[in-house]
C-alpha cells in the first residue's frame, strides 16, 4: 500500500477519474486521506483532455442530459487543485521522450463503436509524454492506469539517462498499487 502521506503525486487523466469512480472502499478511503493532505496534482494536459471530453459529450446531447453534462463539467472545474503548466523544462523533457519513443508503444484503440486513427493515437501518446515529463520535472510519482505507455517512457529514461540529466527515474504507481 502507498501511504497517502507520501504524496504529493501527479495523477494521470484516467487515474484521476478512476479514483472518483472506484467502487473499492479502500480506494475511496485512500483518496479521502490523500485529499486531506494535498491538492490533487494534475497536468494542464489533463485539464485540456477532460474539458475536450465534456465539450464533445455536451455537443452530441440535448435537453436534460446536456444539462447534466454541464453540471458535471462545472463540478470538475471546482475540483481543480494544483494544475502544472507545460513550461520550458517540461517541454524539453517531453520532446526528448517523444524523440526516444517516437511511435506509441501500444496500438490504437478499436472496438465495434469506435476506432482511433494513427494520428489520434500519436496525439494521445504525445499527451502522455507531456504528463510523464511533468512528473519527471516536478519529481513526483505518477499515478496512472496506463502501464503500456508509461512503462515504455520509464524504460526509455532509464536506458538513456544522459538525455534526462537530473530528472530520472520516472516513478510510476498503478491505481491498483495504491491499495
Partner 1 sequence: MPRKRRTTLTLPVDALGQAERIARARHVNLSVVVAEALASGLRIETARERSAQVVRDYQEAFRGFAAEEMMILDGIIPEMRKH
> Site residues (CB under 8 A) for partner 1?
13-14, 16-17, 19-21, 28, 31-33, 35-37, 40, 46, 49-50, 52-54, 56-57, 60, 68, 71-73, 75-76, 78-79, 81, 109, 112-116, 120, 124, 127
Q: Which is nearer to partner 1, 32 or 103 (CB)?
A: 32
Report the C-alpha gap between 124 and 151 in whole angstroms.
Answer: 15
DSSP letter at 113? S
Q: How far, in Å, are 71, 75, 138 from residue 100 at the CA level?
A: 41, 38, 20
Least separation in angstroms between residue 178's CB and partner 1 is 15
- The half-sphere exposure of 175 on its side-chain side, counting CA atoms within 13 A, is 20
In whole angstroms, the minimum distance from the beta carbon of 120 to partner 1 comes to 5
The separation between CA 130 and the C-alpha centre of its own chain, rounded to angstroms, equals 9
Of the pair 32, 139, the CB lying nearest partner 1 is at 32
Amino acid at each position: 500500500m502507498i501511504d497517502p502521506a507520501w504524496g504529493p503525486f501527479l495523477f494521470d487523466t484516467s487515474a484521476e477519474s478512476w479514483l472518483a469512480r472506484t467502487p473499492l472502499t479502500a480506494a475511496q478511503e485512500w483518496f479521502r486521506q490523500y485529499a486531506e493532505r494535498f491538492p490533487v496534482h494534475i497536468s494542464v494536459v489533463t485539464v485540456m483532455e477532460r474539458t475536450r471530453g465534456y465539450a464533445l459529450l455536451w455537443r452530441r446531447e440535448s435537453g436534460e442530459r446536456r444539462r447534466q453534462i454541464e453540471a458535471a463539467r462545472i463540478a470538475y472545474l471546482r475540483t481543480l487543485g494544483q494544475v502544472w503548466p507545460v513550461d520550458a523544462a517540461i517541454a524539453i523533457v517531453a520532446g526528448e521522450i517523444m524523440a526516444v519513443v517516437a511511435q506509441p508503444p501500444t496500438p490504437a484503440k478499436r472496438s465495434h463503436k469506435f476506432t482511433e486513427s494513427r494520428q489520434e493515437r500519436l496525439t494521445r501518446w504525445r499527451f502522455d509524454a507531456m504528463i510523464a515529463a511533468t512528473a519527471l520535472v516536478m519529481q513526483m510519482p505518477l499515478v496512472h492506469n496506463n502501464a503500456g505507455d508509461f512503462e515504455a517512457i520509464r524504460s526509455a529514461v532509464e536506458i538513456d539517462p544522459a538525455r534526462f540529466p537530473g530528472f530520472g527515474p520516472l516513478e510510476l504507481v498503478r491505481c491498483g498499487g495504491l491499495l
